[in-house]
A and B are shown apart, each in its own frame.
Chain A
Amino acid sequence: MKIRLDNVVKTFETFRAVHGVSLDIDSGQLVALLGPSGSGKTTILRMIAGLEYADGGRIFFGDIDATAIPVRDRGVGFVFQNYALFPHMTVGENIAFGMKVSKVRRSREAMAARVGELLDQVRLSGLADRFPSQISGGQRQRVALARALAVDPKVLLLDEPFGALDANVRRELRRWLREFHDQLGITTIFVTHDQEEALDLADRVVILNEGRIVQQGTPEEVCRRPDSAFVMRFLGDAHRLVGKVTGGVAKVAGGTVNVDGPQAGEVEILVRPGDVRWGEGDIPASVIRIIDRPDGRRLLARLDDGSDVEIDTPPETAVASGDRGTVRVMRAQVFPLRN
């Protein structure tokens, strides 16, 4: 099912949560709504579900205007952040709930068969008689997913699907969800504040800030061509330098950075730790701290104009806190300086 949002607006009491968001989601895509808290991502998801009504704009499911269709009839599967499993029902009863209340009558046997099938799909066969409090967080999440899928939704919506899980379970479930999505081919939208999760899982990432879409595209597009400093910073560690560009070279803190592109004049230069080298180039810097990590050493260096950069170096790099040296910026994103 293709989903289209046309200039959707939502205002809560005094503050505007979503400002005129327009978005096209192709059938079968897995899309991430990514943004910091308060960016309106959950509100957008809830409006697509029909759990909130838009104050303005329209939402289309295929060619049907779904803006005014109540959640009950909208045919969406919604997985809540804390799963919202019914605590007084077993796993099996939870999954069967949607079928039981459906206007489409199903025989007891048909429902039981479907529950069994869904439990197999989410790899929880044998847990049908447990209660939600008797299974682990990751298992609850998959029960919530099976419950949402039981009513054959046109679109699957997940609110921070991995937010309540610990890191290892999270990574494992992420990969599993991607495979699962590829098998089902159902249009899926999920909300997250974790850029790694969005990039790892989604076909397309929609980045939001303060109720507006700031950039959308494939993970590759948003990573390689961030179109604002906000996106650059939000997607990963980045440090900001200020310089003046003339003829493709920026003068920064007593050294130079090669920049391609048409920019000239005052610019802000954002660099990632992996794109900076220690002991090369011509920008003088001193090491102020060393952080050892499983895959290397990260140096915190201060340039002479007082700005800081972080540098990823191989684990065997011989360096001590307080060392003076130079750094080279291999790759950078350059944006015109705004005051």
Chain B
Amino acid sequence: MAAARASTRPPRVGDSPSVRRALIGVVLVVGALFILAPLVVIFVQAFSQGFGVFAATLAHPDTRHAILLTVLTAALAVPVNTAFGIAAAWAITKFDFRGKRFLLVVIEVPFSVSPIVAGVAYLFVYGLQGLFGPALEAADVKILFALPGIVLASMFVTAPFVARELIPLMQAQGRDLEEAATSLGASGWRTFWSVTLPNIRWALLYGVVLCNARVMGEFGAVSVVSGNIRGQTNTLPLHIELLYHDYQTVGAFAAASVLTVLAVFTIVAKALLERQGAGRARRPSLAGPAAKPAGGKA
């Protein structure tokens, strides 16, 4: 077989056209069947009874409230998790201390714990019969079945996203740049703003985008702590489920389409960011570690 194609050698080892076509084909078919088709169905169903019904569903106060609540939750949870992620990544990559590995594991816990478990745990911590329940009630602070609970649960689920993006990059960059800035007289803040942040910004934005996507879509944890009160503590994912169980198929799909549009925005933003990060030949190597000298000619 190789002899038959001797004249048209593959450009690289392992890059034979048949393998390439087969792999691309498999990915395309699977992608279309399992990822693209369901997305299309959402929009087809949402508009199945015309644009009027679609618009009316979205204009319903409960739906509008759910959208607002979701956006508000993201607006609160994402900045907090961003700050947390930067702090965690900084601590882990720039300092040596006991329990560093343990901290790394702790940060990743939300990835492995089912969100619903997180929700139930919050119930036991902040609920009426929970750890802080009586104290909270005495102080008249309402956490569960209210916005604070929803934000807290969302934060728990999405805590690792920013840190996970930053840690490998910051590890690769090492401490040299910060040490250089400090030896030149820069303060800690100055070093962070002028040296560290510019070198991690694409990874940071990428982490923020992912975190945002996950906060907006979070269902399990939020469904436990929010109490599902229509028009009050129903986020968009919860609202979709509610509509679906009420046999309001068009409404469910219309709401789902909004969530999908938000997600697609996020993905487009992410793609643009990646392009920015990779394609900036004039301001290079921002996505990767500090350029190592390639042994050049003086």
A interface residues (Cβ-Cβ under 8 A, vs B): 49-51, 71-73, 76-78, 80, 82-88, 97-98, 101-103, 131-142, 147-148, 150-151, 164-166, 169, 172-173
**A-facing mask of B167-189, CB < 8 A → 1, else 0?**
00000000011011111111100
Contact B184 A151 (CB under 8 A): yes
Count of residues in B whose CB is under 8 Å from the partner chain: 30
With A87-B286, A133-B285 in contact, is A72–B297 under 8 Å at CB?
no
Give the top 7 A-B pairs by smallest Cβ distance, nearest first. A138-B298, A136-B296, A137-B293, A98-B184, A84-B176, A84-B180, A101-B186
In the complex formed, the residue of B with least CB distance to A102 is: B185
Contact of A72 among B182, B292, B296 (CB under 8 A): B182
B residues near A49, Cβ cutoff 8 Å: 183
Q: Whole-angstrom distance from the CB of B283 to the nearest CB of chain A?
A: 6
Contact B290 A87 (CB under 8 A): yes
Q: Does B282 interact with chain A (Cβ within 8 Å)? A: yes
What is the bound-complex CA distance between A75 and B45, given in angstroms?
69
16 contacts between A and B (CB under 8 A): A49-B183, A50-B183, A78-B180, A82-B290, A82-B292, A87-B286, A97-B186, A98-B184, A101-B184, A136-B296, A137-B295, A137-B298, A139-B298, A140-B296, A150-B184, A164-B295
Q: Whole-angstrom distance from the CB of B102 to the nearest CB of chain A?
A: 17
Contact of B177 among A76, A86, A102, A172 (CB under 8 A): A86
Q: Whole-angstrom distance from the CB of B23 to the nearest CB of chain A?
A: 33
Contact B285 A84 (CB under 8 A): no
Contact of A51 among B183, B296, B297 (CB under 8 A): B183
B residues near A83, Cβ cutoff 8 Å: 293
B residues near A97, Cβ cutoff 8 Å: 181, 184, 186, 194
Contact A151 B185 (CB under 8 A): yes
Other CB < 8 Å A-B pairs besides A71-B179, A136-B298, A166-B295, 15 of them? A71-B183, A72-B182, A72-B186, A76-B183, A82-B290, A82-B293, A83-B293, A85-B180, A87-B199, A101-B190, A101-B194, A103-B185, A135-B296, A137-B296, A138-B296
What is the bound-complex CA distance between A150 and B180, given in angstroms?
13
Q: Does B26 interact with chain A (Cβ within 8 Å)? A: no
B residues near A85, Cβ cutoff 8 Å: 180, 290-291
With A84-B179, A87-B199 in contact, is A139–B296 under 8 Å at CB?
yes
What is the bound-complex CA distance between A102 and B185, given in angstroms?
6
B residues near A71, Cβ cutoff 8 Å: 179, 182-183
Tell me the residues in window 256-298 of chain B with beta carbons closer than 8 Å to chain A beta carbons: 282-286, 290-298
Q: Whole-angstrom distance from the CB of B230 to the nearest CB of chain A?
A: 49
A residues near B284, Cβ cutoff 8 Å: 87, 131, 133-134
Q: Does B198 interact with chain A (Cβ within 8 Å)? A: yes
Q: Whole-angstrom distance from the CB of A132 to the nearest CB of chain B?
A: 6
B residues near A140, Cβ cutoff 8 Å: 293, 296
Q: Does B195 interact with chain A (Cβ within 8 Å)? A: yes
In the complex formed, the residue of B with least CB distance to A83 is: B293
**A-facing mask of B143-186, CB < 8 A → 1, else 0?**
00000000000000000000000000000000011011111111
B residues near A76, Cβ cutoff 8 Å: 183
Contact B183 A78 (CB under 8 A): yes
Q: Whole-angstrom distance from the CB of B249 to the nearest CB of chain A?
A: 51
Q: Whole-angstrom distance from the CB of B182 to the nearest CB of chain A?
A: 5
Contact B183 A138 (CB under 8 A): no
Contact B176 A80 (CB under 8 A): yes
What is the bound-complex CA distance between A169 and B195, given in angstroms?
29
A residues near B187, Cβ cutoff 8 Å: 72, 101
Contact B285 A82 (CB under 8 A): no
A residues near B199, Cβ cutoff 8 Å: 86-88
In the complex formed, the residue of A with least CB distance to B96 is: A13
Residue among B183, B296, B297 with the highest chain A CB neighbour number at 10 A: B183
B residues near A73, Cβ cutoff 8 Å: 185
B residues near A50, Cβ cutoff 8 Å: 183
What is the bound-complex CA distance between A88 and B292, given in angstroms?
14
B residues near A80, Cβ cutoff 8 Å: 176, 179-180
Q: Whole-angstrom distance from the CB of A42 to the nearest CB of chain B?
A: 12
A residues near B283, Cβ cutoff 8 Å: 88, 131
What is the bound-complex CA distance between A88 and B190, given in angstroms?
15
Q: Whole-angstrom distance from the CB of B77 to the nearest CB of chain A?
A: 29
With A83-B293, A97-B186, A101-B184 in contact, is A173–B198 under 8 Å at CB?
no
What is the bound-complex CA distance between A166 and B295, given in angstroms?
6
What is the bound-complex CA distance between A283 and B149, given in angstroms?
90
